[in-house]
Chains A and B, each alone.
Chain A
Amino acid sequence: MAFTIVASCVNCWACVPLCPNQAIQVEQPHFVIRAGSCTECVGDFAAAQCASICPIEGAIIDELGKALNPPGSLSGVPPERWALAQAEIAAR
């Protein structure tokens, strides 16, 4: 079992020092989790550390591809409201 960091990661470093397994590697274009090292923090913490500080919705996913921080869960912006704002900006 292991989490994965995907392309929306902004390389903010917040997760790197928190990982109990030092599984997060600093890479370009975005940081990655070494699958072999990740334990999803089981046994160390009640909540996965990377996903608990990550500021970007959807940037970390589990083995099923499910976002640990789904849209709207961090910013508080409902996804439909976000889509509307993007459409308005595009229409200008």
Chain B
Amino acid sequence: MDLPVNEPSPRVVAGGGAGSCGARPGQSGGLTDAIRARIEDHPCYSEDAHHHFARMHVAVAPACNIQCHYCNRKYDCANESRPGVVSELLTADQAVRKTLAVATRIPQMSVLGIAGPGDPLANPERTFEVFRQLAQKAPDIKLCVSTNGLMLPRHVEDLCRYHIDHVTITINCVDPDVGARIHPWIFWQNRRVRGRQAAAILVEQQQLGLEMLSARGILVKVNSVLIPGVNDAHLPEVSRVVRARGAFLHNVMPLIARPEHGTFYGVMGQRSPQPVELQAVQDACSGDMKMMRHCRQCRADAVGMLGEDRGAEFTLDRIETMDVDYEAAMAVRREVRAEIAARLAARRASGPTPAVSSAVLRANPQVVRFHSRATKPAAPAGRPVLMAVAARNGVVAVHFGHAREFLIYEASAAGCRLIGHRRVESHCAGAESCGEAESVLARTIELLVDCEVLLCARIGYEPWGQLAAAGIQPNGEHAMQAVEEAVMAVWQQMLAAGKLTVARTGARRA
């Protein structure tokens, strides 16, 4: 599929940004086969995979070498799912044991990441000891690391040595003036450096590290935190620059800031972006690069499928008592993977989104698919519709009242695409500390106000009425169907009923 893509200005990386991966992502409007093969079982990188594969983070990296205004190193709360929050710090040996235990109990587990709670590369001994042992003991598990990038150039060789598959760099800016409003200080060459000077060093090291990784064929994803009024207008530029340096995916995440988090942004009243703002920035960035819409901003000790956290099942005292026969577990995992791969292949072949050919689908798994807008077929009948889905493992399987999050899909003649997910509960579930007067239902409706349809397995009478009154049509007819099939079926129904040639009716605007 050839898409109009603005090629970045002259290549920054001498010697091939994509390393061994052949053609650069973007040149062909999608990912190369090699990259696709490398991410197809990675729940964080592949939207398809995230319905089927699990991941875990081990919290072995407590130290950090920079300060971000959205982070508070003091807090650890079980109700928090912000990145950087963690309940139990592990030694390298404990982390290895936990990984093997989880990979035995959750055979869908395909990825082990180290993401904090500080910066993994500010704790190189622990981080690389975990990687060293796991590369030996669990060779079928992909290893990844997430970093602020400050120490990245120094550790690129180590990352190659242990066959780290993917690296995520949090890059919130490429302009030090913007950076100074996000990162008040860094620790650099034995001193604390502040302000613009600090941001300039951070930006330089991040970009250098990104180039070095790309040149060695390590896949790099860039995470950016969207901070309204600080870097929202700047992020399309970030997207353009990091793509030019070889990043294969850009993930724009919303700032999470509340006064009770004790962060600079939380206390100073910096607001978090609304879902529509996030979507607008993601759309503005995706003209330049592939975007991720299914990220759940996991904790640094998250365990399980994206959107769930089974960490409590694998605390230190519990894993001590678990029997781990790793050879047997690996065999089980091989089977589970083959089964999932077959299911995904079958689904792709049958073409869940009718308006797009299966060949196009095969060539473009969802997460890496460019906007359907850009590939709109000749006769687009009917306007696009946003739908919220209460899903589990890619199926419309959740009761409305039990849903902790909704996946938001846009259905159109070009097929359907995931544009994000929205959490229903506030990030802090403790009602005493975070409770607000509005009811959960009212907040849910507020959150989904731009959606016309809500797909769920079942729904109660009361919420049905309130949703319908707000212009969000609940629909329980597709329970246990694959999400994309269900979304497209509803859209086709609406089209046939003539609802899509006229504007949305009955919507209550926010």
Contact = CB atoms under 8 A, between A and B. Distances in A.
Interface in B34-58: none
B190 A49 contact: yes
Nearest to A51: B192
B73 A10 contact: yes
A81 to B, nearest CB: 6
B267 A55 contact: no
B185 interface: yes
B264 A76 contact: yes
B74 A75 contact: no
Contacts of A88: 259
A52 B122 CA distance: 14
Interface residue range, chain B: 20 to 34
B94 interface: no
A92 B74 CA distance: 22
B402 interface: no
A17 B433 CA distance: 36
A82 B187 CA distance: 24
A77 B64 contact: no
B260 A89 contact: yes
A76 B191 contact: no
A77 B259 contact: no
A13 B264 contact: no
Contacts of A11: 62, 89
A81 B89 CA distance: 31
A7 interface: no
Interface in B435-481: 435
Contacts of B185: 74
A19 B89 CA distance: 22
B205 interface: no
Contact of A52 (B73, B192, B259, B264): B192
Contacts of A53: 63, 65, 187, 192
A47 interface: yes
A46 B191 contact: yes
A79 B439 CA distance: 34
Given A46-B191, A52-B190, A75 B184 contact: yes
Contacts of B260: 89
Interface residues of A, number: 26
Given A47-B191, A76-B264, A77-B264, A89 B62 contact: no
Contacts of A56: 73-74
A10 B63 CA distance: 10
Contacts of B364: none
A85 interface: yes
Contacts of A35: none
Contacts of A52: 187, 190-192
B56 to A, nearest CB: 21
Interface in A53-73: 53, 55-56
A81 B268 contact: yes
Contact of B259 (A16, A17, A89): A89
A75 B118 contact: no
B472 to A, nearest CB: 30
B233 to A, nearest CB: 22
* Residue among A47, A76, A81 with most chain B CB within 10 A: A76
Contact of A14 (B63, B266, B433): B63
Interface of B: 62-65, 67, 69, 73-74, 89, 118, 122-123, 125, 184-185, 187, 190-192, 259-260, 263-264, 266-268, 433, 435
18 contacts: A10-B73, A10-B74, A12-B64, A12-B118, A13-B118, A14-B122, A18-B190, A45-B191, A56-B74, A74-B67, A74-B184, A75-B184, A76-B184, A77-B267, A85-B266, A85-B267, A89-B260, A89-B433
Interface of A: 10-14, 16-18, 45-47, 49, 52-53, 55-56, 74-77, 81-82, 85, 88-89, 92
Given A74-B67, A75-B184, A85-B266, 8 more contacts: A16-B63, A17-B125, A18-B190, A56-B73, A75-B267, A76-B69, A77-B268, A92-B433
